[in-house]
A and B are shown apart, each in its own frame.
Chain A
C-alpha cells in the first residue's frame, strides 16, 4: 500500500475519534435547544468549569480559598485528601446537577417566552459568570488533570499495523478511550430520548409547552434534566480535553467546535449532531493533512467554520432539518 494512503487512513481514524467527541458535545447543545429554544453559549465554559472542579475535588482544594483567606485572615488551601478519579467524577457530576438546577431556577425560569436573542444573551452572561466563578473557586492557574485514563501510543495497534502494512499507526490510548466513552454516551442519549418516559416528555416539551403541561409534564423538571445532561456532557469533554492539554481557558473554546457541527447537523436533530460531528472531525483532520502543508498549516482553527459556512449557503436547515418553504 502506498505510504500516502496509509497516512491518510491514520488521519481518517484520528478524525473519526475526534468527531465522536464533537458529536457528544453537540448533543449537549441540541438537547437544551430542543427543550427550551436556548442556544447555550456557555457550554464550553461549562466544560472548563467541570474540569476545574474535578481537579479541585480530587486534590482536596478548598473552594474559594483565596476569598475566604482574604476575608477572615485564615490560611486555608487544601483539605488534605486525595481522591480517585472515579469518586472525583461522581462528585463533580453532582456539582453539575446542582448547577443545572441553579441555572434554571435563578435564570431561565424567569425568561420563559422571551425572544431567542434574549435567551442567548443570558447564556453569554452565564458563560462569563461561570468563568469567573471557576477562577474564584479553584484559582486561574493551568492545572494538570489525571483521572487514570491510559495515555500514549497504543502499542498493539502500532505493531499490528506495522506487521500488516509496514507502517505503524499512531493512535493515542486516550483518544481510544474518549471515543469509546463518547460513543457509549451518544448511544445512551439516543436511546434515552427515544424510548424512556423522560425522553418522551422531553420531546413533548420540545414540541409544545402548553400541550406538555396539559398532560402533566413539569417544564422545570425537563429543563433541569437537559441542563444536567449538558453539564454531564461538559464534564466528559472537560476530562478528555483537559487530560490531553491541561485544564486552562482554551478548553472552553474547543467546545465551540460544536457550533459548526450544529450548523451542519441542524440545531434540533440528534442524528444530525452525530453525523455532523463525524464530518467535522474527519474533514478538519483530512484537510489539514492534504491542504495544510500548502497553506502553512493550522487549518484546524478555521476549517470547520468555513465548511459550515459553505454548507449553510446551500442547505440552511442543516442535514436533517426540514426545508422551510415560505407560504405566499
Chain B
C-alpha cells in the first residue's frame, strides 16, 4: 500500500465518531488534524508532507530516530514553528497561523525536551503560572475589588494543590526549581502543564534521562492524567517499551517523513519501521 493510499484509509477512519478501548477508555472524534505539513529550515527539510490526526481522549505517540523531526512536529502544533505548507485543523476548523501564547490560550499545554521552567521560582510558583490564563480579573479589580479577585485566587490555588498532590510533589512545594534534580524538574514541568487544564497536552520526551523507577512513575502519571482529567495527550518518546504500553496509536517519523501510523502492534510489525530502527540504508 502506498503512503497516499494509506492516508486515504486513515482519513476515512478518522471520520468515525470514536470507540471504546480494550481497557474501557473512551476515544472520541478527531480533535487535532495535521494536513500535509512541510517544514523547512533553510535547506533542511525537517518535516516532509506529513498528515496525521489526534483523537479526543487518546494517547498518541510520535516516535522515530534522532533528528527525524518529532520535536519540530510538536513545535508546529504548539505554534513555536510555522510550516511552509500544510494546514492545522483544531476542533473542526482550520487554524490560522498562531503564536505560541495564543495556542496555549486555546487549551494546548506542553513540556519541552530541554525542560523550560522558571528556575528562579519555587515549585509552587512555577505550577501557579500554569493558571495565568484562568486569572480573569483585571488590575483594577485586583486592586479595588478584592472579593472577586480573592475567590479566583483561592480557586486557582486549590486547583494547583490538587495537581501537586496528584504528581506527588508536596514535599518540594516551596523548593526553588533550580535546586531540583533532573527527574523532579520533568515532573514539575508536567505539573505546570496540567495546571492549565489543557484539552491537549504535548509532551516532548517526558522520560528522557530517567531511571527505570522514575519512568514507571512518569508513565503512571501520564496514564492517570489521561484517565482522570480526560486529557488528550501527544507524546514523543524513545523508550519503545514505554511507548507500546502507554499509547493508543503511534506515528513513526524518519528523516522528516511519516513511515508508519497505527496501533502499537501494527507499527511494531511494519517493515519500514523495523528498517528505520535497524538502520537499513536509505535509498
Contact = CB atoms under 8 A, between A and B. Distances in A.
A197 B142 contact: yes
B231 interface: no
B119 A204 contact: no
B281 to A, nearest CB: 37
B27 interface: no
A214 B121 contact: no
A81 B251 CA distance: 70
A215 B99 contact: no
B135 A197 contact: yes
B271 interface: no
Interface string B120-137: 110001001110110101
A203 to B, nearest CB: 7
Contacts of A153: none
Given A210-B112, A210-B116, A216 B139 contact: no
Contacts of B192: 211, 215
A218 B135 contact: no
B101 A219 contact: yes
B81 interface: no
B262 interface: no
Contacts of B102: 216
B221 interface: no
A210 B117 CA distance: 9
Given A200-B129, A208-B117, A218 B112 contact: no
Contacts of A248: none
Nearest to B78: A214
A192 B138 CA distance: 12
A198 interface: yes
Contacts of B116: 208, 210-211, 214
Given A204-B132, A215-B109, 5 more contacts: A203-B121, A206-B120, A208-B118, A214-B100, A216-B104
Interface of A: 192, 195-198, 200-201, 203-204, 206-208, 210-219
26 contacts: A196-B143, A197-B137, A197-B139, A201-B129, A203-B120, A204-B132, A206-B120, A207-B120, A208-B116, A208-B117, A208-B118, A208-B119, A210-B112, A211-B112, A211-B129, A212-B101, A213-B80, A213-B99, A214-B100, A214-B116, A214-B193, A215-B133, A215-B196, A216-B102, A217-B132, A218-B101
The 4 closest A-B pairs by CB, nearest first: A216-B104, A211-B116, A213-B100, A207-B118
